[in-house]
């Protein structure tokens, strides 16, 4: 497939589809399945310094149409154990680690561990509360502290993953760029809830969770469009992408690459190959020679 | 799409001191070996094999920790949420079938035996437990027409020892077309070793920590193969399990940390 190669903050992808963090990302064996499914890059599960069990089940439920609500609660085996897993991956496609922490220093320490494990880039999951309970990604100055601290400690490309739950996601993106971020991933899940009519209570064990899938797409697309207007660093689109046409919308809005999560449920682990193929078909039909040709076109 | 369905507990059967069956007001047509996610509102949600697979769904539960203790506090008429049945069930090949179940692992094997016997197959079931009073579904299997061989760790019923002792002796005398096993993982690993010597194809139902149950979160993925126990399993072929250096050695807890079964 021609014209699918893209470059994001110095990382070369054979196609612009990436596995989103938190989907099948806890071990080398599971990340390899996304690689075999055609992903141009994979993002591992977000990890913290210490292992975390996360919230009680139900932690992931289906919500129509084609959506998920999750409250996995940042469960992970800890950065050290996950780093050992990522070390096993053979460099077939770029591997991005996702880290979080309860302080900027913890983010940075985890990013350093991941750099030592040989990953190609680090994504900062800013949807994590700090010690005072404020989510880093909600406020410009908090996001900025995290990005600067991580950039001070690692040489790798650093991506800030933002949430639309922030009052003003565009200002947060700009703050991250100023602090030295090499790219923006937009967006994480949106806070949401589901209530069962018979049990008459929220279904998720944590009551509140994050919404992903088809229903998130228009919000994600708006965020990518607005962020791309304001920053010069590359933007990776994420939220409700399940077909090549969805991905193309994000490219037109200004995304350099896309991440796919929930669609794994509906189209299987080969969703990456399918979406890449569909992007190639769109390019060919319309006479474009590369993804770069259409990136940001909707801004004209 | 597996939406949560909240239904009434129709009937509760005390199988042993520590095992109960919950028959639910939910009409299903499941394949033996498939599982459901069972939600106890306000408490937790865990995977359970379907022990009654046609008509009203049944699950058979061993009391272990907090979740199962709370399940045991339920009365008939109380509510449970169910997602499923899901996952890959057992597949019957051949005419002479051998079942090996340890403890509550007999739960998915009983409906398999019933289905096979209805289809005119011959079924031999090796059922094991710690002690006589904890043996599960022996009468149910006999009623369906299966030959039942018993082992108990303490020798209070049947052969003193393990199901695998009975299995090793039986396979010296008789041959079968397919073996199905469910129980503690170290038992199943031993079963696979024995049936391999006799070239007896074997399917095993695995237990891993489940979160999503739908193949998204990656919690239950087996090292070596990358197979998801909740999606490509929970039943696997012996060939698939031999490719996983994880099987019989370790599993991952709720945080995703490796926990070894015994000595490394
Ligand atoms: C496919 C499948 C089918 C199962 N079928 C049955 C069945 O028919 N009958 C039955 O009694 N049990 C079954 N289980 C096990 C059951 O899901 C629980 O593990 C067990 O009941 C734990 O009880 P607890 O939470 O009360 O105990 P705890 O003390 O909380 O846990 C004890 C152990 O149970 C396991 N466990 C706990 N939570 C989970 C979870 N979310 N997913 C998987 N394992 C967990 C862990 O190994 C843990 O160490 C099945 C598990 C799987 C994966
Ligand atoms: C089960 C589940 C777990 C997730 N875990 C993480 C995580 O650990 N870190 C993170 O940055 N995003 C996490 N996400 C969010 C996704 O990476 C993605 O941003 C979101 O799901 C939107 O994309 P989608 O609609 O393609 O799924 C998770 C999503 C799901 C469904
Ligand atoms: S429990 Fe989530 S992938 Fe199997």
The pLDDT tens digits of the residues spanning B16-53 come to 999 999 999 999 999 999 999 999 999 999 999 999 99
Q: Do B221 and A24 touch (CB under 8 A)?
A: yes
Number of domains in chain A: 1
Query: Are both B117 and B152 inside the same structural domain?
Result: yes
Q: Which residues on A lie below 8 Å from B8 (Cβ)?
A: none
Ligand 2 centre and the CA of A61: distance in Å? 13
> Which residue is catalytic, options A47, A79, A128, A223?
A128
Instruction: Give the residue from A20, A27, A210, A266 with the most B CB atoms within 10 Å of its CB, the best one to mutate.
Output: A27
A-B Cβ pairs (cutoff 8 Å, strict) = 129
**Structure token digits, residue A126:** 């800013």
Contacts by A245-251, CB closer than 8 A, 24 or more apart = A245/A278, A245/A282, A246/A217, A246/A275, A247/A16, A247/A17, A247/A275, A247/A278, A247/A279, A248/A279, A248/A282, A248/A294, A249/A217, A249/A221, A250/A220, A250/A221, A250/A224, A251/A16, A251/A279, A251/A291, A251/A294, A251/A295, A251/A296, A251/A297
**Of B204, B229, B244, the domain-final residue:** B204
Ligand 1, atom nearest to B208 Cα:
53
Q: Is residue A198 part of a domain?
A: no
Mapping DSSP to helix (H, G, I), strand (E, B) and coil, where does residue B146 land?
coil
A238 is catalytic: no
Which residue from A5, A48, A3, A47 is spatially nearest to A22, judged by alpha carbons?
A: A47
Kindly state whether residues B151 and B50 are assigned to the same domain: no
Which among B248, B262, B16 has a CA at the least distance from the CA of B127? Answer: B16
Verify that B73 and B179 share a domain, yes or no.
no
What pLDDT, on a 0 to 100 scale, did the predictor assign at position B227?
Answer: 97
B-contacting residues in A 5-34 (Cβ below 8 Å) = 22-30, 32-33
Given a cut of 70, whether residue B263 has pLDDT beyond it is no
CATH of the domain at B182: 3.40.50.80
Count of helix runs (H) and strand runs (E) in chain A: 10, 16
Q: How far is CA A16 from the centre of its chain?
A: 13
Residue A91: pLDDT band (50, 70, 90) is: confident
What confidence score (pLDDT) does residue A166 get?
86
Q: How many CA atoms lie within 13 A of B167 on its CB side?
A: 31
Tell me what the mean pLDDT of segment A32-60 comes to: 96
Residue A249 domain-assigned (yes or no):
yes
Residue that has been written with the tokens 């306000």 in this structure? B42
- What's the complex ipTM? 0.94
Give the per-residue pLDDT at A167: 83
Query: Is residue A74 predicted with pLDDT exceeding 60?
Result: yes
Q: CB of B3 within 8 Å of any CB in chain A?
A: yes
Residue A46 Cα to ligand 2 midpoint, Å, equals 9
CA–CA distance, B196 with B235 (Å, rounded to integer): 17
Query: For A124-133, A177-186, B249-258, which range has the lowest pLDDT when averaged over its residues?
Result: A124-133
- Predicted confidence band of residue B112 (pLDDT cuts 50, 70, 90): very high
B86 lines ligand 3 (CB under 6 A): no
pLDDT reading at A118 higher than 80:
yes
**Same domain flag for B26 and B112:** no
Q: Are residues B106 and B161 in the same domain?
A: yes
For residue A24, the ligand closest to its alpha carbon is: 3
Average pLDDT over residues A283-290: 95
Of B181, B204, B227, the domain-final residue: B204
Can you give the CATH number for the domain in which A118 is found? 3.20.20.70
The answer as to whether A146 is a domain residue is yes
Q: Is A245 helix (H, G, I), strand (E, B) or coil?
A: helix
Read off φ and ψ for residue B64, nearest 5 degrees: -130, -70
Residue A62 maps to a domain: no
Task: Say if the Cβ atoms of A30 and B2 lie within 8 Å.
Answer: no
Neighbour-count burial of B50, counting CB atoms closer than 10 A to its CB (0-12 exposed, 13-18 middle, 19+ buried): buried
Tokens of B89: 């069930």
Contact (Cβ atoms closer than 8 angstroms) between residue B217 and residue B208: no
Whole-angstrom distance, CA of residue A122 vs CA of residue A93: 15
Distance B259 CA to ligand 1 centre (A): 15
Q: Which domain holds residue B214?
A: 206-264
Mean pLDDT of B226-254: 95
Which stretches within A88-129 are classed as H helix?
Answer: 104-116
Q: Answer yes or no: is pLDDT of B264 > 70.
A: no
Residue B152 is given by DSSP the state E
The answer as to whether A91 is a domain residue is yes
Q: Which domain holds residue A169?
A: 6-57+77-192+213-299
- The predicted-structure confidence for A192-246, as pLDDT tens digits, reads as follows 999 999 999 999 999 999 999 999 999 999 999 999 999 999 999 999 999 999 9
Answer yes or no: do B73 and B111 share one domain: no
Q: What is the pLDDT of residue A64?
A: 87
**A22 within 8 A of A54, measured Cβ to Cβ:** no
Dmax (CA) for chain A in angstroms is 54
B210, B200: one domain: no
Helix (H), strand (E) at residue A223: helix A217-230
- Same structural domain for residues B255 and B195? no
pLDDT for position A248: 98
Other Cβ atoms less than 10 A from the Cβ of B26: the count is: 19
Q: Indicate whether B14 and B108 sit together in one domain.
A: no
pLDDT digits (tens, 9 = 90+) for B199-221: 999 999 999 999 999 999 999 99
Asked whether the predicted pLDDT for residue A131 surpasses 60, the reply is yes
In this structure, the answer to whether residues B171 and B96 fall within a common structural domain is: yes
- C-beta of A125 in contact with ligand 2 (< 6 A): yes
Among B204, B228, B246, the domain-final residue is B204
3-state secondary structure of A275: helix
* Dihedral pair phi/psi, residue B131, rounded to 5°: -150, 160
Distance CA B199, CA B21 (A): 35
Q: Which of B46, B51, B250, B258 to mutate to test the pocket of ligand 1 (most atoms within 8 A of CB)?
A: B46
* Nearest atom within ligand 3 for CA of residue B215: 3
Checking if the pLDDT of A129 tops 90, the result is: no
Is A71 part of any domain? Answer: no
Percent of chain B surpassing pLDDT 90: 98
Q: Is A198 on the interface with B (CB under 8 A)?
A: yes
Contacts of A295 (CB under 8 A, 6+ apart): A251, A252, A254, A255, A256
| Mean residue pLDDT across chain A | 95
The set of long-range contacts for A215-219, using a CB threshold of 8 Å and a minimum separation of 24, is A215/A63, A215/A65, A215/A66, A215/A67, A215/A240, A216/A67, A216/A187, A216/A189, A216/A190, A216/A240, A217/A241, A217/A246, A217/A249, A219/A164, A219/A187, A219/A190
Any idea which residue has 């990522």 for tokens? A86
Same domain, B171 and B233: no
HEC string for A72-92: CCCCECCHHHHHHHHHCCCCC
Please count the structural domains in chain B: 3
- Residue A63 inside a domain? The answer is no
Residue A66 lies in a domain: no
Amino acid A1: pLDDT = 67
Average pLDDT over chain B, rounded to whole?
96
- How do A208-213 and A190-193 pair as beta strands? antiparallel
Q: Rounded to 5 degrees, what are φ and ψ at A289?
A: -100, -15
Q: Do B210 and B198 belong to one domain?
A: no
């Amino acid at each position: 497939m021609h014209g699918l190669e893209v470059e994001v903050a110095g990382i070369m992808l054979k196609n612009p589809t990436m596995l989103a963090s938190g989907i099948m990302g806890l071990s080398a064996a599971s990340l390899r399945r996304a690689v075999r499914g055609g992903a141009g890059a994979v993002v591992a599960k977000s990890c913290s310094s210490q292992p975390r069990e996360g919230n009680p089940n139900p932690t992931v439920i289906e919500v129509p149409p084609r959506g998920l609500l999750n409250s996995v609660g940042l469960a992970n085996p800890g950065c050290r154990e996950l780093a050992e897993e990522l070390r096993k991956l053979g460099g077939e496609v770029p591997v991005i680690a996702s880290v979080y922490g309860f302080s900027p220093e913890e983010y940075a320490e985890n990013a350093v561990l991941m750099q030592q494990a040989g990953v190609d880039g680090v994504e900062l999951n800013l949807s994590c509360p700090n010690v005072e309970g404020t989510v880093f990604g909600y406020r410009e100055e908090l996001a900025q502290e995290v990005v600067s601290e991580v950039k001070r400690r690692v040489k790798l490309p650093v991506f800030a993953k933002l949430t639309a739950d922030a009052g003003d996601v565009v200002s947060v993106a700009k703050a991250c760029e100023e602090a030295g971020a090499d790219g923006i991933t937009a967006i994480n899940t949106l806070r949401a809830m589901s209530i069962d009519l018979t049990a008459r209570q929220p279904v998720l064990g944590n009551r509140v969770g994050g919404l992903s899938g088809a229903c998130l797409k228009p919000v994600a697309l708006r965020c990518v469009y607005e962020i791309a207007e304001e920053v010069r660093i590359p933007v990776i689109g994420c939220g409700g992408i399940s077909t090549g046409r969805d991905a193309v919308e994000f490219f037109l809005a200004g995304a350099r690459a896309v991440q796919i999560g929930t669609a794994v449920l509906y189209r299987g682990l080969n969703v990456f190959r399918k979406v890449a193929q569909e992007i190639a078909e769109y390019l060919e039909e319309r006479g474009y020679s590369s993804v770069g040709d259409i990136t940001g076109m909707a801004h004209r | 799409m597996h939406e949560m369905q909240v239904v009434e507990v129709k009937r509760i059967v005390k199988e042993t001191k520590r095992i109960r069956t919950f028959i639910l007001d939910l009409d299903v047509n499941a394949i033996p070996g498939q599982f459901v996610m069972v939600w106890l509102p306000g408490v937790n949600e865990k995977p359970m094999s379907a022990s009654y697979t046609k008509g009203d769904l049944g699950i058979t539960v061993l009391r272990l920790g907090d979740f199962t203790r709370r399940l045991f506090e339920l009365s008939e008429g109380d509510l449970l949420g169910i997602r499923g049945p899901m996952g890959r069930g057992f597949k019957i090949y051949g005419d002479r079938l051998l079942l090996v179940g340890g403890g509550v692992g007999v739960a998915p094997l009983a409906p398999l035996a019933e289905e096979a016997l209805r289809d005119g197959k011959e079924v031999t079931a090796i059922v094991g437990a710690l002690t006589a009073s904890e043996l599960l579904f022996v009468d149910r299997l006999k009623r369906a027409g299966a030959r039942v061989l018993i082992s108990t760790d303490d020798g209070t019923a049947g052969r003193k020892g393990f199901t695998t002792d009975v299995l090793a002796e039986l396979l010296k005398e008789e041959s079968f077309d397919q073996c199905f096993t469910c129980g503690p993982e170290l038992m199943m690993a031993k079963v696979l070793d024995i049936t391999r010597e006799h070239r007896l194809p074997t399917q095993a139902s695995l237990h891993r920590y489940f979160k999503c149950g739908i193949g998204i979160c990656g919690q239950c993925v087996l090292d070596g193969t990358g197979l998801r126990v909740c999606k490509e399993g929970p039943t696997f072929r012996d060939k698939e399990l031999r490719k996983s250096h994880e099987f019989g050695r370790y599993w991952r807890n709720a945080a995703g940390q490796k926990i070894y079964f015994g000595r490394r």
